[in-house]
Amino acid sequence: MTNPPERVAVDPLIGATLDARYRLDGLIGRGGMASVYRGEDLALGRPVAVKVFAAAAEGIDDDERRKSETALLASLSHRALVRLYDAAHDAGTGREFLVMELVEGRDLRDALRVGALGAPDAARLLADLAEALHVIHARGIVHRDVKPANVLLEPAHLPTHTWNAKLADFGIARLIDDARLTRTGLLVGTPGYLAPEQVTGTPPGPPSDIYALGLLVLEARTGEPAFPGPAIEAASARLARDPDIPESLGSDWGALLRSMTAREPGDRPAALEVAVAAAALDTSSPVDRVPSTDADTVASTVASTEAATEVLPDPAHDLGPVLDDDEATRVLPAPASSRSAVPTAADGGRRRRRWVGPVVAAAILVVVAAIVAIVLATTAGGPVGGDPTPAPMPVVPGELGVHLEDLDQAVTE
């Protein structure tokens, strides 16, 4: 007796036309809350991605609310945001759905299955996604579910890189009524990327997205999720410990990722600050990386650049953090009057580190040579030629020169 062949389930929505306009041609992917289809906008004759929710979602079927929220989300335009075209309720199927830009390519989750990203790709990814988050945060929108599966990699047309990252699914929490989520016990977000405040039930704000982005980029660099394991274990782990950030990533990467994944929301930088800091990250290989004498260059870069940048007001988060001297690896909130106290330029810290080492080494050699000459002259009964005055120390400009003069006086007295 042979077993009958397994029956392949047929998706009833494939081939259907929603709202008499959007034809669904094939399934792209399916999640817990919704399924995404490749479709066509019959009115405009263009390909689209249609996200169909598994059950009726209160708020989207409110016509006035849907129009206002869709208008807000559709007005957001950035190269790293998947554009939202429409949101509607289909009377025939009773389903709520979103219509979005169709991005050809895979998502970051699939890309990381092949291996971790190199420093240049990860830095560009971080800069683009942080800038995109700044755009939506400035309009009062919190993503709530930043994760690799929501980062789409669109093929690029430049020889310098192979793809461009686009953040998808922003604003869904605004379209779905929070009251429904509370009643059903649902939590918008993925356990492996939730911020600590989300785990404890505190309403998420822009810092929650920054925390998730920090975990995402850390995973992109290492190839491993920061908090693996079952959902409850992964979600609760961040309440007890910070993610492990390998020293091999470099001090600037470590400083930025630690600030982004601080357990207190107020200790995290804003999205714009992260974007600026990401552009200044060291993307050289570990062999070529110049040893750093300042582990907090990224934090100081964030603080100084923010003071010179005009920032759009964000009603949900204060965009005025600066570097705190006592906690140098974090970016902390402070009054706006203290911002000008940080004088560094965007890449000034790195340039200083490159020349300070050689200058100090040369100065030490000069001092050692002078001391040896003095000792030899004293031992021989005086300098050659009978001149009792030793040759003056070479002049070194700046604060380093002052220290050398003090050392010279200590030696000759």
Length of the chain: 413
Residue 358 has pLDDT above 60, yes or no: no
Cα 61 from chain centroid (whole Å)? 34
Establish if 2 belongs to a structural domain.
Answer: no
Mean per-residue pLDDT, 173-178: 63
Question: Do 190 and 213 fall into the same domain?
Answer: yes
- Return the pLDDT at 290: 35
Looking at the fold, whether 373 and 243 belong to one and the same domain comes out as no
Q: What is the pLDDT of residue 254?
A: 96
User: Within 13 Å, how many C-alpha atoms sit on residue 280's CB side?
Assistant: 27
Q: Which two tokens stand for residue 70?
A: 């869709």
What per-residue confidence (pLDDT) applies to 60? 64
What was the pLDDT predicted at 181? Answer: 53
Average pLDDT (350-376) is 42
For residues 301 and 256, the model is more confident at 256
According to DSSP, the residues that pair with 88 across neighbouring strands are 97
Per-residue confidence (pLDDT) for residue 55, from 0 to 100: 67
Least confident of 51-60, 239-248, 302-311, 358-367: 302-311
Taking 80 as the threshold, does the pLDDT of residue 166 lie above it?
yes
Indicate the SS3 state at residue 51: strand
222 φ, ψ (degrees, to nearest 5): -100, -25
Residue 27, pLDDT > 70, answer: yes
Indicate if 161 and 237 belong to the same structural domain: yes
pLDDT score recorded for residue 4: 53
Percent of the chain whose pLDDT exceeds 70 = 60
* pLDDT value at 382 more than 50: no
Q: Vertex 265, ends 263 and 271: CA angle to 5°?
A: 115
d(Cα 20, Cα 93) in Å, to the nearest integer?
12
Label residue 140 left, alpha or beta by phi (over 0 means left) and psi (-120 to 50 means alpha): left
Angle (CA) 29-34-37 rounded to 5° is: 45
- Note the pLDDT of residue 94: 86
- Tell me if 5 is assigned to some domain: no
Per-residue pLDDT at 346: 37
299 and 272 within one domain: yes
Q: Is residue 151 part of a domain?
A: yes
The residue to which tokens 């380093």 are assigned: 400
Q: Does the pLDDT value for residue 411 go beyond 90? A: no
As a whole number, the mean pLDDT across the chain is: 73
- What pLDDT, on the 0 to 100 scale, is given for residue 247? 95
- Structural domain contains residue 11: no
| Predicted confidence (pLDDT) at residue 58 exceeds the cutoff of 60 | no
Kindly report which listed range (121-125, 143-147, 253-257, 370-374) carries the lowest average pLDDT score: 370-374
Residue 91: half-sphere exposure toward Cβ, Cα within 13 Å: 4
Whether residue 288 lies in the annotated active site:
no
**In terms of Cα–Cα distance, which of 366, 360, 371, 364 is closest to 411?**
371
What mean pLDDT comes out for the span 34-58?
Answer: 88
More confident residue, 354 or 112: 112
pLDDT score for 329: 23
* The pLDDT of residue 182 is above 60: no
186: left (phi over 0), alpha (psi -120 to 50) or beta: beta
**How many domains does one find in the chain?**
3
Q: What is the token pair recorded at 229? A: 């394991």
- Cα distance between residue 49 and residue 107, in whole Å: 14
Least confident of 195-209, 217-231, 331-345: 331-345
Please check whether residues 226 and 138 belong to one and the same domain: yes
The pLDDT value recorded for residue 359 is: 36
Q: Please tell me whether residues 200 and 276 are part of one structural domain.
A: yes
Distance CA 311, CA 55 (A): 39
Considering the domain architecture, whether residues 173 and 263 belong to the same structural domain is answered as yes
Which segment of 52-56, 118-122, 331-335, 402-406 scores lowest on mean pLDDT?
331-335
What's the rounded Cα separation, in Å, for the pair 50 and 39? 6
Report the distance separating Cα 271 and Cα 210, nearest Å.
7
The answer to whether residue 352 sits within a structural domain is no
The encoded tokens of residue 278 equal 């990401």
pLDDT for 57:
56
Residue in 218, 287, 205, 208 with CA at minimum distance from that of residue 246: 218
Report pTM.
0.65
The conformation of residue 285, written as its DSSP 8-state character, comes to: -
For residue 102, which of 40, 14, 11 has the smallest C-alpha distance?
40
Q: Mean pLDDT throughout 80-88?
A: 92
| Residue 222 near residue 245 (C-beta atoms within 8 A) | no
Tell me which residue range forms the domain holding 403: 357-412
Co-location of 92 and 180 in the same domain = no
Which pLDDT band holds residue 89 (cuts at 50, 70, 90)? confident
- Give the pLDDT of residue 178: 55
Q: Spell out the long-range contacts of 199-207 with Cβ–Cβ below 8 A and sequence spacing 24 or more.
A: 199/235, 199/236, 199/238, 199/239, 200/239, 204/142, 204/144, 205/142, 205/265, 205/316, 205/317, 206/133, 206/137, 206/142, 206/270, 206/271, 206/314, 206/316, 206/317, 207/265, 207/266, 207/268, 207/317
Residue 70 lies in a domain: yes
Same domain, 238 and 280: yes
Position 18 scores a pLDDT of: 96
Burial 73-90 (b: 16+ CB within 10 A, else e): beebebebbbbbbbbbbb
Tell me how crowded residue 354 is: count the other CB atoms within 10 A of its CB: 9
Active-site residue, selected from the candidate residues 121, 145, 169, 282? 145
Residue 164's DSSP bridge partners are 154
The pLDDT score that the predictor gives to residue 30 is 85
In this structure, the answer to whether residues 245 and 337 fall within a common structural domain is yes
Helices vs strands, H then E, count in the chain? 13, 10
Is there a single domain that holds both residue 312 and residue 207? Answer: yes
What one-character-per-residue DSSP string does 175-212 give? HS-HHHHHHHT--SS-GGG--HHHHTTPPP-HHHHHHH
Same domain, 331 and 363: no
Task: Please name every residue paired with 36 in a beta bridge, in sequence order, or none if there are none.
Answer: 29, 51
